[in-house]
Structure 1
Amino acid sequence: MVVGESPLQQTAHALYRDHHGWLFGWLRGKLGNSGDAADIAHDTFMRVWVGLRADTVPALREPRAYLTTVARRLVINHYERQSLERAYHASLALIPEALAPSVEERAILLETLHEIDALLDELPARVRTAFLLSQLEGLGYEDIALRLQVSVRTVTRYMAQGFAQCLRLMLAQPA
């Protein structure tokens, strides 16, 4: 421990010291490579640190169980991001070369897709599904209501949540 550390910093350092090697090994086994395992282990401890600072992390009686839960969510996000990128690159391959976006435009589009994905990931599953059915598949509210087995009024509420989430992202972007 470093002299002058707060109890919060001591907790975080102890958690890292005692469990980082184990978490890294667990992730390497799940992911099959050290690079992604190191990145996700780092992100896991960063999330825990942010949670500790915000006082949103419960008392850690089973720290490995908690770290595993956080890391699993990050692994899922990692695979979803890879899937999104594969779909994006497959779509780009369908565009005639003369109309294909520049490398810079591709990078901006991919970054935007990641932002949209993260934004939609914050929505409850049914809200996200309704929003995507409307925006990507072009279904009307009645068709979405039938597919989700909810009322049209519920779909309207879901869509309002989806649009509000998009508006929050737009307002958070610098002009």
Structure 2
Amino acid sequence: MPAPAIVTLALSAPRDPADPITAIYRQHHGWLLRWLRGKLQCADQAADLAQDTFLRLLTAAPASQQPLREPRAYLTTVAQRLVVDHYRRLSLEQAWPETLAHVPELTAMSPEERLDILQTLHRIDAMLDGLPAPVRSAFLLSHLEGLSNADIAARLAVSERTVQRYLVQAIERCIMLMA
């Protein structure tokens, strides 16, 4: 997520009032903010995600792009993805203290080292996002639980060959997103 100063600067920079993005912002910001408040039950988080939604619109659209035909549908899609990412990060952050309690080696690490591990988990989670559930499960069972392909196949009720395909698919996605 970009630094708050950059977000504020990008959205507060003077723009042509006839600019389609400016018009969308003026017409739909309040609606999007209310929609996000209903989803998140937190005005501050809603404001942050509304800002991020318009930042995505601002950075994704060339200046010459035609106005969106269905701006609310577009904004809802982008905002919904940001909400999912928000809850995924929250879930990881809530699971982190439990992990620390079960792995004493982690508590001996410095706060910076633990933060690096948590940030790495966020990146891995983002890389695996979008994969079908069985592919993601096979990858996690293999790399986090250390299960063999045969054990994964039994747990997922698929063949070992399918497990191998799943693992290749997950690794290809990680490589693609890292490049």
Please state which band the TM-score falls in when normalised by the shorter chain. Answer: 0.7 to 0.9
Q: Evaluate the alpha carbon distance shift between residue 68 and residue 114 of structure 1 in structure 2; reply closer, same or farther with a 3 A threshold.
A: same
**Residues 21 and 67 of structure 2 are in contact (CA less than 8 Å); yes or no, is this contact kept in structure 1?**
no
Q: Evaluate the alpha carbon distance shift between residue 60 and residue 2 of structure 1 in structure 2; reply closer, same or farther with a 3 A threshold.
A: closer
Match of 2:94 in 1: 86
Q: Separation in 2 of the partners of 1:80 and 1:59?
A: 32
**What is the total number of aligned residue pairs between the two structures?**
166
**Residues 130 and 159 of structure 1 are in contact (CA less than 8 Å); yes or no, is this contact kept in structure 2?**
yes
Written as runs of structure 1 = structure 2, the 5 A alignment for 1:28-39 is: 28-39=37-48
Pick aligned residue for 1:45 from 35, 54, 58: 54
Match of 1:16 in 2: 25
Q: Evaluate the alpha carbon distance shift between residue 126 and residue 52 of structure 1 in structure 2; reply closer, same or farther with a 3 A threshold.
A: farther
TM-score, with structure 2 as normaliser: 0.76
**Range that drifts further, 133-142 or 83-92:** 133-142
SS at structure 2 position matched to 1:139: coil
Q: Evaluate the alpha carbon distance shift between residue 90 and residue 125 of structure 1 in structure 2; reply closer, same or farther with a 3 A threshold.
A: same
**Range that drifts further, 14-23 or 119-128:** 119-128
Residue identity in the other structure for 1:37: A
Written as runs of structure 1 = structure 2, the 5 A alignment for 1:1-175 is: 2-3=15-16, 10-53=19-62, 60-96=68-104, 99-168=107-176, 172=179
Shift of 1:19: 0.6
Residue identity in the other structure for 2:71: P
Identity, in percent, stands at 56
What per-residue deviation string (whole Å, max 9, x for no partner) do you get for residues 57-86 of structure 1? 997333212212221221111111111011
Match of 2:3 in 1: none
TM-score, with structure 1 as normaliser: 0.78
**Residues 92 and 100 of structure 1 are in contact (CA less than 8 Å); yes or no, is this contact kept in structure 2?**
no
What per-residue deviation string (whole Å, max 9, x for no partner) do you get for residues 109-156 of structure 1? 111111111111143333212111212233322333344343322221
Shift of 1:29: 2.1
Residue identity in the other structure for 2:164: T
Q: Evaluate the alpha carbon distance shift between residue 58 and residue 140 of structure 1 in structure 2; reply closer, same or farther with a 3 A threshold.
A: farther
**Residues 44 and 71 of structure 1 are in contact (CA less than 8 Å); yes or no, is this contact kept in structure 2?**
yes
Q: CA RMSD in A?
A: 3.1
Gaps of 5+ in 2: 1-13
Q: Separation in 1 of the partners of 2:171 and 2:156?
A: 19
Shift of 1:43: 1.6
Shift of 1:32: 1.4
Runs of 4+ in 1 over 4 A off after TM superposition: 95-99
